[in-house]
Amino acid sequence: MPPSSSKQKRLAEKAAKQASKGGLGVKDESTTGTSTPNGSVNGGSSFNTPMSSRSAATSVEDLNSMARLQILTDRSAAGVLVSDSKGRDVKIESFTLSFHGRLLIEGAEIALNYGQRYGLLGENGSGKSTFLQSIAERDIDIPEHIDIYLVRGEAEPAEINAVDFIVESAKKKVAKIEKRIEDLSMADDVDEMALEAAYEELEEMDPNTFEAKAGSILHGLGFTQAMMKRPTKDMSGGWRMRVALARALFVKPHILLLDEPTNHLDLGAVVWLEAYLSTYNHILVITSHSQDFMDSVCTNIMELTPKKKMVYYTGNYTTFVRTKNENEVNQMKAYNKQQEEIAHIKKFIASAGTYANLVKQAKSKQKIIDKMEAAGLIEKVETQRPLRFNFEDVSKLPPPILAFNDVAFSYSGKKEDYLYQNLSFGIDMDSRIAILGANGTGKSTLLNLVMGLLQPCSGTISKHTSLKLAKYSQHSADQLPYDKSPIEYFDALYREKYPEKDVMAWRAQLGRFGLSGQHQTSPIRQLSDGLRNRVVFAQLAMEHPHILLLDEPTNHLDMTSIDALARAIKEYEGGVVIVSHDFRLISQVAEELWEVKNKKIRNLTREDITIVDYKKLLVKDSVNALERAKLFSKTQQKAKT
């Protein structure tokens, strides 16, 4: 069978290129020896380098020792890449990871299959973010043709606008793909599958639609046309974070790693991102505190367990919870049955005495136990102690304790710039209010008006004379002294106010919010973002406020922590006002839904609109926007037809 026209063209191009270099098209035999592929382990022997089975086994066995020798560095990783160095999947065996001298993952298997979307679960401080950084920075030598993108910081402040910033990155990726196509085409032995995959990737990028696609993604993440044209240097950190996220979504890397991608988004943008990522057809690994988000996006769950292993489950978060519970019930049944069998055998052995015939039977029975132990006994399921947060009781104040009367506000003070106008409402100690609305409508500004950090341009805000307020901000943890431990911070902050309290009192207070042991004494900079947020909650509780104002309180918290926060809010005797993009938390604690829109506050609860109804409206708008912008990938469209 004659070669295809495309292959003939590639052969002609290769011959011309070799001729231009003065080559005769003859292979240099001195360069055909075994080369070291990309999948090497920390600069050591590659898994694919020819070696005896004994040396391979030895290298695997030594990996944990290597990790422990390097454990004094900030982050240390070891592992063996066992996936095909030319393939699309990534598989690493005996993966070990440590950070600041603490072992996070030990001897785990990492398996990332092309086309799958993984939700990464684990307790706060277990090492999820460190794991993502390790993969992104190729601590294990993942092949270069697999591009990896971790969204972990803001776009650089520069003169360039958001659209051009994204398009510039996309053009760089196109150039890289074209160079790879050229190299593959000119190879002596053309890898047809790799070449086809590269062409498919280039087609998916579709340079002719760059600006339109970039604008559609930015619009989905909440940008107006005017904001898209604004230089990134004139944007706040939160908006530059969205630009960085938009760039990652546009470039569509082989492996996309998203660490809490919803943290800087409003509910509408969260729902749009949820719809967009549910079509992602490369490899996606996300951490998220939102059950709704993970249910909609994830095809698989990977759990980083307290035993420092990675356990995989097929299905979304809800399926994971059900499957894990069923597995644990079955494991406990098997454990109890085995323990009863062992106890029965031991009882027989103990009663055998010195009778010759019984002694022989007893030895036989002992061999049964020995075989069980050699094969590995079934482990008892270790149930984690339930995590609880606790906001202490406060004295009751008679209503009204806080009231807005015909309030209007703008930062400029000009009427034409008003964020709000004619606001009149009250908040009491039994209030449980969730404030909804797009970014930029003034949700956080409203909380600052309540706190007294801002003053209205017109109207009045009246407060009870004894009213105490406390506010949690999504940036509160950034204000903590990173060089101190939580205990040192509390002692310095409250020593004069509470001279009767000692270190044990601070330990107890931090313990009320799930911080214990080493987490209480380590420098705050070594704590995960979720644990730092718990320090802030413990501090808020010390203020004994009558009303808690919580601005995005679920950022960086794990699912268990969010449930603990929800229970603490329900048990709290003061008032609570929440700004959150977490549908699950809102559904658990909010008794009233207020939407900030068109300079007004609309009470959705009085219109019988629930948070479920509100999300359905946002989902419908997001799906329509994606379809209009043709952002569903061609592969997804083919799969649907």
Q: Is the pLDDT of residue 181 over 70?
A: yes
Q: Which one is predicted more confidently, 533 or 31?
A: 533
Predicted pLDDT at 628: 67
Q: Which one is predicted more confidently, 301 or 85?
A: 301
Q: Is the pLDDT of residue 35 over 90?
A: no
Whether residues 520 and 412 fall in one domain: yes
Taking CA atoms, 191 is separated from 5, 31, 460, in Å, by 16, 18, 73
Q: What is the mean predicted confidence (pLDDT) over 7-26?
A: 48
Would residue 292 count as lying in a domain?
A: yes
- Residue 413 is part of which domain span? 402-621
Nearest Cα to 92, choosing from 71, 70, 77, 73?
A: 77
Model pLDDT for residues 261-290, shown as the tens digit of each residue: 988 788 888 899 999 999 999 999 999 988
pLDDT tier at 104, thresholds 50, 70, 90? very high
Whether residues 421 and 540 fall in one domain: yes
| pTM (whole model) above 0.75 | no
Query: Per the structure, how many domains does the chain have?
Result: 2
Q: Is the pLDDT of residue 291 over 70?
A: yes
Q: Is the pLDDT of residue 627 over 80?
A: no
Whether residues 178 and 315 fall in one domain: yes
Would residue 331 count as lying in a domain?
A: no
Out of 288-292, 301-305, 424-428, 450-454, least confident range: 288-292
Handedness of CA 508, 510, 511, 516 (dihedral sign): negative
Token pair 């749009």 is found at: 272
Would residue 513 count as lying in a domain?
A: yes
Q: How far apart are CA 526 and CA 106, in angstroms?
A: 20
CATH number of the CATH domain containing 292:
3.40.50.300
Out of 300, 320, 340, pick the residue that ends a domain.
320
Q: What is the mean predicted confidence (pLDDT) over 307-325?
A: 94
* 8 A C-beta contact, residue 228 and residue 578: no
Predicted pLDDT at 619: 84
The three state secondary structure string of 293-315 is HHHHHCCEEEEECCCCCEEEEEC
Predicted pLDDT at 581: 86
Handedness of CA 435, 441, 444, 446 (dihedral sign): negative
Q: What is the mean predicted confidence (pLDDT) over 479-504?
A: 90
Token pair 């598989």 is found at: 91
* 8 A C-beta contact, residue 553 and residue 566: no
Q: Is the pLDDT of residue 624 over 50?
A: yes
Out of 266, 301, 320, pick the residue that ends a domain.
320
Predicted pLDDT at 528: 85
pLDDT tier at 71, thresholds 50, 70, 90? very low
Q: Is the pLDDT of residue 139 over 60?
A: yes
Written as one letter, the residue type at 449 is L
Out of 265, 289, 320, pick the residue that ends a domain.
320
Q: What is the mean predicted confidence (pLDDT) over 598-611?
A: 92
Q: Is the pLDDT of residue 408 over 90?
A: yes
Would residue 370 count as lying in a domain?
A: no
Would residue 388 count as lying in a domain?
A: no
Would residue 351 count as lying in a domain?
A: no
Model pLDDT for residues 544-587, shown as the tens digit of each residue: 899 999 999 988 888 888 888 999 999 999 999 999 988 889 99
Predicted pLDDT at 72: 39
Q: What is the mean predicted confidence (pLDDT) over 160-180?
A: 88
Whether residues 311 and 430 fall in one domain: no
Q: How far apart are CA 408 and CA 556, in angstroms?
A: 33
Would residue 34 count as lying in a domain?
A: no
Taking CA atoms, 475 is separated from 3, 238, 509, 533, 540, in Å, by 61, 11, 22, 9, 14
Q: What is the mean predicted confidence (pLDDT) over 195-218?
A: 85
Token pair 């793909």 is found at: 177
pLDDT tier at 636, thresholds 50, 70, 90? very low
Whether residues 465 and 565 fall in one domain: yes
**Within 13 Å and on the Cβ side, how many CA atoms surround 87?**
13
How many percent of the chain have pLDDT more than 90?
39
Q: Is the pLDDT of residue 226 over 70?
A: yes
Q: What is the mean predicted confidence (pLDDT) over 155-159?
A: 87
Written as one letter, the residue type at 47 is F
* 8 A C-beta contact, residue 406 and residue 422: yes
H helices of 388-460, in order, are: 443-451
Whether residues 229 and 86 fall in one domain: yes
Q: Is the pLDDT of residue 59 over 80?
A: no
Q: Is the pLDDT of residue 403 over 90?
A: yes
Would residue 269 count as lying in a domain?
A: yes
Predicted pLDDT at 639: 43
Q: How far apart are CA 390 and CA 3, in angstroms?
A: 73
Q: How far apart are CA 529 and CA 549, in angstroms?
A: 20
Nearest Cα to 140, choosing from 103, 94, 180?
A: 94
How many percent of the chain have pLDDT more than 70?
86
Q: Which one is predicted more confidently, 239 or 92?
A: 92
